[in-house]
Amino acid sequence: MTEDLQKKAALVTGASSGIGEATVRALRADGWTVFAVARRADRLAALEGRTGAVAIPADIAEDDDVSRLLAQVTEAGGIDTLINIAGGARGADKVGDANTADWEWMYRVNVLGTLKLTRAFLPMLRATGAGTVLNLTSTAGLDAYEGGGGYNAAKFGQHAMTNALRLEEAEHNVRVIEVAPGLVQTEEFALNRLGDAQSAEKVYQGVEKPLTAEDVADVVRYAVSAPHHVNLDQIVIRPVAQAATHKLIRKA
């Protein structure tokens, strides 16, 4: 292990499941110090036991939790890499039938949560002289689709914020990376969005080899581990069966 690698430290949100959890495991396997953040303390504790990551339960959209999180990470030595993975979707209503509460939740988690955490940790990342912010968005933030209006709006917002941040922070040598996955099969995403197992299963039905959380985590690991002068501005990752947002191959 090199001296540089020993100094690498990241905070990963959404760490209690899916892509966030897989990212924690991938970085710890490479020797990173990792602060694993999510709301579910029990799952974080189990992840801490398996990987040696530092578990910090917190809701990134709550100001008091963000302040506490910043204080704990600062006391523990700080980070040079912030990986914003926490997010999610609720509902598949068309705009004319939109559920306001679902839209508000998606904006709060995907946009405001990312904003609050990034704003809090930017001074620390600037001070390292070579900080990194990676935001996990979605291809839903690049192409709209029917029934996706709320999630599209939230992810388009997060995508735009990421682009603005890159322009603003280049002078501080903070690189800003966007990873935008397409169809990823995880244990909770479709279930949380649609509310029942049968509907969630239909999302992936007939699709040969959708992406896994580990697939995306490996791309995240690579992007933040590249030499600092290499900025992978935007990485779009889809399964081969998904040639575009609107073209998904399903087999009988």
By three-state DSSP, how is residue 133 classified? strand
Q: CB neighbours of 195 closer than 8 A, spacing ≥ 6?
A: none
* Cβ atoms 96, 148 nearer than 8 A: no
Q: What is the DSSP letter of 77?
A: T
Residue 151 is a catalytic residue: yes
Helix ranges (H only) for the chain are 3-7, 18-29, 41-51, 63-75, 100-107, 113-128, 149-169, 189-194, 197-204, 213-225
On the 0-12 / 13-18 / 19+ scale of CB atoms within 10 A, 138 is buried
Which tokens hold the place of 178? 């966007």
Strands 242-244 and 247-248, sheet pairing: antiparallel
Could you say which of 107, 145, 151, 222 is catalytic? 151
Catalogue the active-site residues.
Answer: 151
